[in-house]
Chains A and B, each alone.
Chain A
Amino acid sequence: MIAYSICESPHTPPNVLRLGFSVWARNPPKGYLSIYPKAAEEARKRAESENVSLCALVDDVWPMVALSRTHREQQNISDQFVALLPDLGFHEVHLVSDFVKDVALGAYLPHATRVTVSEFWKLLPQSKKTISDNLTLNEILGFLWHIHVLEIALGEFQLTGLLVGIRSEFFYLTARKLLPPHDVYFVNTS
């Protein structure tokens, strides 16, 4: 289930894994989410960890902005995530709107100085590249925002690592260069 992992960060205390899983609350929760708690269990065995916490980071801010939703519309979707994720085996569920207080440009634009256009282009999925004429600068904004969210979450919830889909491999490899030390477990979702 876990394709590969990069485990370099020191765990404190030893053998405790606190993994973050990030999801944009764009649509109602889908079945594929159940893969991640199982992958977290596999990570626990691999790391010979005594316990593992899997924290879902549910981004309810970006979809609201990107899809021009009202607060109420977004809340309805977010509520579905909050209700379902514990049942699937997620130990903690955190809404981004609860822990990311600084949504000002100055908080996340500086990350953009450390990522090159070439690196960014590699991050874009092929499906987007084929329609690149229709893409806007918000692709960059979304990337910066997500980095910002992960940076805060790593500190706020004392995460030792992130559990991510292999399809987002390039993004999380790039994020590792920008964020404080953390492990990454790439999960085969296909």
Chain B
Amino acid sequence: MKRFDQQFLARDSESWVGMEVDELVGFLLPKCQEVITTDRLRQKISEHPTLKVKFGIDPTASEIHIGHVVPIMLLRQFAKAGHHIDFIIGDFTARVGDPTARDTGRVPLSPEQIVKNMETYTSQIGKYIDLRMLHIHYNAKWLNPMTLQEIFAIFQQINLSEAMQREDFRARMRNEQAVSLAEVCYGVLMGIDSVHLGTHVEIGGIDQLLNFQQCRKIMRQSGMDEEVILMTPILEGTSGDGKKMSKSYGNYVAVNATHEDKFGKIMSIPDRLIGQYFRCFADVHQRELEELDAFIGENPMEAKKQLATLIVATETRNIEDGLRERESFERKFSHKSICHEDCIELTEDTNTTILDALVKSGQFKSKSELRRLFEQQGVRSMNEDGEVILSPEIVVGQVRGVVRVGKRRFFRFVMS
């Protein structure tokens, strides 16, 4: 059986410094949904032994999910190839609020929130990229002190109607939702970042397209060569309903989740997403895509296990961690063999209802969440006779064997 997980992870420790242009581009493109433009990308790589590659984030959330990591994986490829990575922390732009793909305006952040969010953010992305490879900048450093003359000279070049009539703004206004003046200025501020840093290549999600176009315009009007834009797809969530991965949709894999949880959630994605996830999280070359897609088509379950193994192992740069999770997953779900360590042990009175006992375990957000799981027949006892669907009123003393809640949580009751 082909082992793509091991093959791709082995590339993790490779240096790509000095790699041929076409070879490098072959690794970059599978991660991109759109490039403006591929020809210019090739040209820039040829012209600049050390490209200045920019990636910016607004520190709006402290806890991130693997959807946020997708552009980081592309950035990592540039870092491996020895290019200069400018990592912009938008402490100034966060006060303004990126309007991208928002139904409503973002709430601007306080300086204290920004610092706190950044600490947790960098500790999380540090699992995927060596932070020592990043040149970290805070954009308030150059945006905050810009004089009226300086900002006037730049704003003078941007047409007001054009800046206001972005499709996302128009959609919000049609729905009578507010668009702030600060949001109108956001793309221009990003462009000033690029001018300040002399960026050659910028990386970001495809939802940033309109902001990137402003960046290119600002660079052009400042007499600079426009940056090349590499845009990654917006990762679809695990539920397979077409929605982007998001905390608010509950279809996400948290970067800080346990290996077990990560592995389990990756295993829950629909088969049609396996290819996209591989492209996003593995160093796949264009020439390997056909073989990879054929493998996924023929062995979707095996491909998904390899994907989950790879995603877990990428975090620790150790394939053994991924393989251990795979083994544990197969034991529990393929062979239905639950061992003592897989279970949370709860000590309870025999007459306590199973609903109350599980609520007391503290493993669930609310009683109503648990009730929903009962209604969906997601609470079952597992013993040598098979599985039995449990009702919330049943008392602990009547339960035989291990109790499984949802797909991946197991409980064992000890009578007090």
Contact = CB atoms under 8 A, between A and B. Distances in A.
Nearest to B149: A65
Interface residues of B, number: 35
A117 B176 CA distance: 11
B161 A141 contact: no
A137 B160 contact: yes
Secondary structure class of chain B's binding surface, majority of residues: helix
B9 interface: no
A18 B310 CA distance: 71
B184 interface: yes
A47 interface: no
B159 interface: yes
Interface string B201-224: 000000000000000000000000
Contacts of A66: 152
Contacts of A133: 159, 161
B151 A141 contact: yes
Contact of A141 (B152, B178, B179): B152
A145 interface: yes
Contact of A116 (B108, B147, B158, B178): B178
B180 A136 contact: no
B155 A106 contact: no
Contacts of A136: 155-160
Interface in B292-324: none
A65 B148 contact: yes
Contacts of B152: 65-66, 138, 141
Interface residues of A, number: 31
Contacts of B158: 136-137
A138 B156 contact: yes
A140 B140 contact: no
Interface string B138-151: 00100111111101
A67 to B, nearest CB: 11
Interface stretch (B40-48, B59-67, B90-98, B365-373): B90-98
Contacts of A118: 173, 178-179
A140 B151 contact: no
Contacts of B390: none
Contacts of B157: 136
B162 to A, nearest CB: 9
A135 B160 contact: yes
A99 to B, nearest CB: 15
Contacts of A65: 148-149, 152
B160 A139 contact: yes
Interface stretch (A7-15, A31-39, A83-91, A107-115): A107-115
B173 A117 contact: yes
B274 interface: no
A113 B185 CA distance: 10
Nearest to B164: A117
A109 B169 contact: no
A137 B180 contact: no
Contacts of B164: 117, 121
B188 interface: yes
A62 B148 CA distance: 8
A139 to B, nearest CB: 6
A104 B144 contact: yes
Closest 8 CB pairs of A and B: A106-B144, A112-B182, A137-B155, A112-B181, A135-B160, A105-B146, A116-B178, A113-B182
Given A115-B181, A117-B184, 12 more contacts: A109-B185, A112-B181, A112-B185, A113-B181, A116-B180, A117-B178, A132-B161, A136-B158, A136-B159, A136-B160, A137-B160, A145-B148
24 contacts: A65-B148, A104-B147, A105-B151, A109-B185, A112-B96, A113-B181, A116-B179, A116-B180, A117-B179, A117-B180, A132-B160, A132-B161, A133-B159, A136-B157, A137-B158, A137-B160, A137-B163, A137-B185, A137-B188, A138-B152, A140-B155, A140-B185, A141-B148, A141-B155
Interface of A: 61-62, 65-66, 103-106, 109-110, 112-118, 120-121, 132-133, 135-141, 143-145
